[in-house]
Amino acid sequence: MRKPHQEISPLPGDAGIAPGGRFRRWKAWMAGMAGLMALNLAAAQELHSRRSPDGSSDLPRAFLIGEHESPYERMAKAYSPSLLGMYGQDIDRAFASWMGILRDMEEFAEREQFDLKGLKLWMNVFLNADGSLEHIVYYPKPNSRNMDFKDLTAFFDAFCVQFRVKGGFSQACSHFGSANFPTFYGR
């Protein structure tokens, strides 16, 4: 039985802590947790504020055509200007821009050690006015190399985060095109 005014035995690891030291340690831990909570809140606000022109930030950045059909249709309407339209109907400039996206995708794949060779895809890319990629929606062609498309979706998601068309556009736009890897354009 404990005598009045007897010191309570220290917690494991508290041996040798000066009086009040346990409180200072707890206070420091709470300050660290508050910092983590603030960081999480800032990240959540960033994700929430990152809205595409159709207001759908809940769609994944990359997915297969046929998944998320209703939001995909709304997104296609919101990004109705085409890449070709952004270049004043100049097909050469629009094609060069599309091939630049694919070339950057290949370079990113090399850095990430992800093999795109042999993939043949139909792709729909949705670009924001600042040139960043909002979404990549794709579907493999029948003669494409077979692979786990969950891995490809994760690769496209990572690519969207870091990619930006130089110069951007006057407004958000989309492009539906074909992609065959490796690309040989301009090499």
Residue 110: per-residue pLDDT: 95
Strand-by-strand arrangement of the 62-64 sheet: 62-64, 133-140, 120-127, 173-180
Residue 75: per-residue pLDDT: 86
Looking at the structure, tell me whether residues 85 and 138 fall in a common domain: yes
Q: Would 2 be classed as within a structural domain?
A: no
Q: Would 19 be classed as within a structural domain?
A: yes
Domain carrying residue 167 = 62-180
Looking at the structure, tell me whether residues 36 and 74 fall in a common domain: no
Looking at the structure, tell me whether residues 107 and 169 fall in a common domain: yes
Secondary structure (DSSP) of 1-47: -PPTTPPPPPPTT-TTPPTTHHHHHHHHHHHHHHHHHHHHHHHHHHH
| Residues contacting 163, CB < 8 A, separation 6+ | 101, 104, 105, 108, 132, 133
Residue 140: per-residue pLDDT: 96
Looking at the structure, tell me whether residues 22 and 91 fall in a common domain: no
Residue 69: per-residue pLDDT: 84
Looking at the structure, tell me whether residues 35 and 127 fall in a common domain: no
How far from chain centre, in Å, is Cα 11?
Answer: 44
Looking at the structure, tell me whether residues 36 and 90 fall in a common domain: no
Looking at the structure, tell me whether residues 115 and 41 fall in a common domain: no
Residue 50: per-residue pLDDT: 42
Residue 11: per-residue pLDDT: 53
Q: Would 4 be classed as within a structural domain?
A: no
Residue 136: per-residue pLDDT: 95
Residue 46: per-residue pLDDT: 41
Q: Would 161 be classed as within a structural domain?
A: yes
Residue 45: per-residue pLDDT: 41
Q: Would 116 be classed as within a structural domain?
A: yes
Looking at the structure, tell me whether residues 97 and 23 fall in a common domain: no
pLDDT along the chain (187 residues), means of 10: 56 56 64 53 40 60 90 86 91 93 94 95 93 94 93 95 87 93 78
Looking at the structure, tell me whether residues 41 and 81 fall in a common domain: no
Residue 138: per-residue pLDDT: 95
Q: Structurally, how many domains does the chain consist of?
A: 2
Looking at the structure, tell me whether residues 105 and 173 fall in a common domain: yes
Residue 6: per-residue pLDDT: 54
Looking at the structure, tell me whether residues 154 and 72 fall in a common domain: yes
Q: Would 185 be classed as within a structural domain?
A: no
Looking at the structure, tell me whether residues 36 and 107 fall in a common domain: no
